[in-house]
């Protein structure tokens, strides 16, 4: 009997599948949109996971809500705005430009601009003149003396 039960238990891997949520959609576009959204919405509880990845109860709720909104015919922007209105821009993996994030968007451009400014300034500067040494008369005399001394030896 125990043997039979053991074999039965081996034949029932399907039970493990029951934990995976099943969502049914009206069209394949909706399904695609749902999968796209659950991958680009960030879970507020388990940061650095999207709501598709995360097992947190909150992520599950957000998946369910996303499903309902998609099923009602909302488009991508409407669903993302709905979530952002409640959880803030934190839920977007693609944050919009706001006063708080403007530096992140424009910072790199600024640094490139500053770099280019210095490169061009350096390039357009007239080549440093060959330093024709204009020796003071005293130094010239001194040089002559030394050279002459060498010659005489």
Partner 1 sequence: MSKKQRLLIFLVPLVLFLVACIFLFKGLFSDPTKLESALIGQPVPAFTLQDIYQPEKQHDASIFKGKPMLLNVWATWCPTCYAEHTYLNKLAAEGIFIVGMNYKDDRKKAIRWLNELGDPYQISLFDKDGMLGLDLGVYGAPETYLIDSQGIIRYRHVGDVNDQVWNNTLLPLFKEMK
Instruction: List the one residue from 78, 88, 108, 117 that touches partner 1 (CB under 8 A).
Output: 88
CA gap 38, 93 in Å, rounded:
11
Dmax (CA) for the chain in angstroms is: 122
Q: How far is the CB of 52 from partner 1 (least distance, A)?
A: 17
Of residues 29 and 107, the one with the C-beta less far from partner 1 = 107
Of residues 25 and 82, the one with the C-beta less far from partner 1 = 82
61 scored as a contact of partner 1 (CB under 8 A): yes
User: Which residue's structure tokens are 């959204």?
Assistant: 37
43 φ/ψ sector (left φ>0, alpha ψ -120 to 50, else beta): beta
57 scored as a contact of partner 1 (CB under 8 A): yes
The single-letter DSSP state of residue 63 is H
Cα 140 to its chain centre, rounded Å, is 65
Q: Do 93 and 50 contact (CB within 8 A), yes or no?
A: yes
Total residues contacting partner 1 (rule CB under 8 A)? 15
92 scored as a contact of partner 1 (CB under 8 A): no
85 scored as a contact of partner 1 (CB under 8 A): yes
Binding site for partner 1 (CB under 8 A): 44-45, 47, 57-58, 61-62, 65, 84-90
């Amino acid at each position: 009997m125990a043997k039979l039960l053991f074999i039965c238990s081996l034949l029932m891997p399907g039970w493990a599948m029951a934990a995976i949520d099943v969502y049914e959609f009206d069209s394949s576009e909706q399904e695609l949109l749902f999968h796209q959204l659950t991958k680009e919405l960030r879970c507020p509880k388990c940061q650095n996971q999207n709501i598709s990845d995360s097992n947190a109860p909150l992520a599950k709720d957000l998946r369910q809500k996303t499903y309902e909104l998609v099923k009602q015919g909302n488009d991508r922007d409407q669903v993302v705005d709905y979530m952002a209105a409640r959880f803030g821009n934190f839920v977007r993996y693609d944050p919009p430009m706001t006063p708080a994030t403007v530096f992140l968007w424009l910072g790199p451009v600024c640094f490139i601009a500053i770099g280019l400014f210095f490169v061009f300034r350096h390039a357009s500067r007239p080549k440093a003149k060959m330093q024709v040494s204009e020796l003071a008369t005293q130094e010239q005399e001194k040089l002559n003396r030394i050279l002459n001394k060498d010659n005489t030896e």
